[in-house]
Structure 1
Amino acid sequence: MTTDTTAQSRYRFLLIQGFRLPSDSPYLHRKLDGPKETTVMDYPLLAPMLEGVAWDVHGGAPTTYGNWPVENRREFMHSGLARLPIVKEACESGKYNAIILLGGGEPGFHEATELARPYGIPVSSCAWSQMHVAAMLGSKFGVIDLAESHSSYYSNLILQHRMEGRCASIRLINFPHDRPGCVSGRPLHEERAKARSGERSVAVDEAVEQAVAAIEEDGAEVIFMSCSGLFWLQPFIQARLDEMGWEVPVLHGYKCAISTAKAMVDMDVTASGLKYPGDRPRRWRRKKVV
């Protein structure tokens, strides 16, 4: 783990990656080691938000299901469980006043929040943050997702966060992660490189097409991406929508997670003890309405 937090900083954050692939994985497309800025995806977009923040990044727990990126329910369950000891160690260290779970599917978010609450440490994550920020900016949000299996999992997150009434739709561009025996031939990291070099990217084109459809057909007033592997699309979709005249915000998951972590620290609040009760709460209810 890369470390430089100081007790004097107002914001002392630990960013935890969703998972860590083996260094020899053929499906690895981000740096695992080196300066912390190089290991966080889209860092140039995040740098202004992290200015003045004392932050560390943990590379995440090694994957236990295989050597490819997480995409389906089973893999998210593995990753969520593996991340909890990292959260516990961070809370016990006394170094941090907020924890940010990286990864669009936020594996282990509820469990991490339950674990961190007795320490007075708020936990922020990408799906949770994007949904709540989107709900402040518009009546309905549209989600751009990368694969059928991922969207099946992500739809559960929308229900868990009780945001089904604010979700206009989840629309797919079908760029699934490669895995053994299943190669899509549409690698997202290559599309990202094309877009950033000024070349035409099919992923950008299809994401913009689905964003427009979410606006025109589904009633979306805010757009965001479900998977951190898609977050790089944010500035490209925003620019294209602006060119078309659509005054619709497009959110970036990491930016939302950092912003909500700062807000909770500024307000000196963490999760409710009624939503995430301890083992023996001082007060308990005889009735809980679902």
Structure 2
Amino acid sequence: MTATPSRYRFLLIQGFRLPADSPYLHRKLDGPKEQTVMDYPILAPMLEGVDWEVHGGALTTYGNWPVENRQEFMHSGLARLPIVREACESGKYNAIVLLGGGEPGFHEACEIARPYGIPVSSCAWSQMHVATMLGSRFGVIDLAESHSSYYANLILQHRMDRRCASIRLIYFPHDRPGCPSGRPLHEERAKARAGERSEAVEEAVEQAVAAIEEDGAEVIFMSCSGLFWLQPFIQSRLDEMGWEVPVLHGYKCAISMAKAMVDMGVTASGLKYPGDRPGRRRRKKLV
């Protein structure tokens, strides 16, 4: 008996791929796809019934450490675009999900995919839109000054500045040559999941509460995929305190948005992402 094709045929594309010998590598590059996607146990229920594959991302061209600042995001975004084009040309997928909290190459990927009728979702874009459906203003938890500066630009690009209550920092920057943070996030994650005290969890909860009490945030989410693991811990702690505030997970939001666009049969507007020679063109564009 022939299996019924899935309604959803997704390609998940990692934001970047570190060299296999990188001392800063803390996720699996190869093996079963479920082992190469961060927080897969949390995502598994959402991927039931989805025919999905994951691409490990383009090899970093700026160095062998994780992306954190503007120039590194630009490198990663440019490197990801050929993967998006190849996926669209293959005809295998009806949606593309860009992994990585800073969504490098998102707008360009939408421009590539739109003529193929393929929607593209990403974590920052998805979290912001889901957050504004759930509350009036959202608070963002970030991990480093350089990353938060870049992320603030994403908020402006998505025209969400009036809906953003604040970006609050916990200081857990990624290690890089000459700049070890001394507080590796993967170690904090291991502590938290083992039921031990994690400074990352404690500081994130502190900043989430401050975003609620002082900034007016009604929804909380994290900017970097390296922080997404915090979501259930922050949610649990806020629940214990009596705060009825949703805490979002970037990958869950991105997958949900991809499903919604497929279900509605829509993709990005040709006016936002026009082709080289559109059938109709405007005389005036408002900014």
Q: Please state whether the residue corresponding to 1:217 is helix, strand or coil.
A: helix
Q: Give the superposition deviation at 1:9.
A: 1.1
Instruction: Describe how 1:48-63 pairs up with structure 2 within 5 A.
Output: 48-63=45-60
Aligned to 2:118: 121
Between the aligned partners of 2:132 and 2:236, the Cα distance in structure 1 is 21
Q: What residue ranges of structure 1 are gaps of 5+ in the alignment?
A: 1-5
Between the aligned partners of 1:184 and 1:64, the Cα distance in structure 2 is 22
Between the aligned partners of 1:25 and 1:278, the Cα distance in structure 2 is 39
Which whole-Å deviations, capped at 9, do the CAs of 1:238-289 have from their partners, x for residues lacking one?
0000000000000000000000000000000000000000000000000000
Which whole-Å deviations, capped at 9, do the CAs of 1:86-128 have from their partners, x for residues lacking one?
0000000000000000000000000000000000000000000
Between the aligned partners of 1:184 and 1:230, the Cα distance in structure 2 is 15
Aligned to 1:237: 234
Aligned to 2:184: 187
Q: 2:84 aligns with which of 84, 87, 103?
A: 87
Q: Please state whether the residue corresponding to 1:143 is helix, strand or coil.
A: strand
Percent identity (aligned): 89
- Paired residue type of 2:246: P
Determine if contact 1:7/1:95 at 8 Å carries over to the other structure.
no
Aligned to 1:75: 72
Between the aligned partners of 1:218 and 1:81, the Cα distance in structure 2 is 35
* TM-score, structure 1 normalization: 0.98
Q: Please state whether the residue corresponding to 2:140 is helix, strand or coil.
A: strand
Determine if contact 1:120/1:270 at 8 Å carries over to the other structure.
yes
* TM-score, structure 2 normalization: 0.99
Aligned to 1:3: none
Between the aligned partners of 1:276 and 1:184, the Cα distance in structure 2 is 39
Aligned to 2:252: 255
Between the aligned partners of 2:153 and 2:18, the Cα distance in structure 1 is 25
Between the aligned partners of 2:258 and 2:210, the Cα distance in structure 1 is 32
Q: Give the superposition deviation at 1:72.
A: 0.1
Between the aligned partners of 2:87 and 2:4, the Cα distance in structure 1 is 14
Q: Give the superposition deviation at 1:8.
A: 1.4
Q: Please state whether the residue corresponding to 2:139 is helix, strand or coil.
A: strand
Q: 1:278 aligns with which of 269, 275, 278?
A: 275
Q: 1:221 aligns with which of 213, 218, 221?
A: 218
Q: Please state whether the residue corresponding to 2:236 is helix, strand or coil.
A: helix
Q: Give the superposition deviation at 1:7.
A: 8.3
Which whole-Å deviations, capped at 9, do the CAs of 1:205-264 have from their partners, x for residues lacking one?
000000000000000000000000000000000000000000000000000000000000
Determine if contact 1:191/1:201 at 8 Å carries over to the other structure.
yes
Q: Please state whether the residue corresponding to 1:192 is helix, strand or coil.
A: helix
Between the aligned partners of 1:64 and 1:23, the Cα distance in structure 2 is 14
Aligned to 1:176: 173
**2:201 counterpart of 1:201:** no
Determine if contact 1:146/1:227 at 8 Å carries over to the other structure.
yes
Q: What residue ranges of structure 2 are gaps of 5+ in the alignment?
A: none
Instruction: Describe how 1:151-162 pairs up with structure 2 within 5 A.
Output: 151-162=148-159
- Paired residue type of 2:174: H
Aligned to 1:103: 100
Between the aligned partners of 1:61 and 1:115, the Cα distance in structure 2 is 17
Between the aligned partners of 2:92 and 2:81, the Cα distance in structure 1 is 17
Query: Once superposed, what is the RMSD of the aligned Cα atoms?
Result: 0.7
Q: Spell out structure 1 runs of 4+ moving beyond 3 A.
A: none
- Paired residue type of 2:251: Y
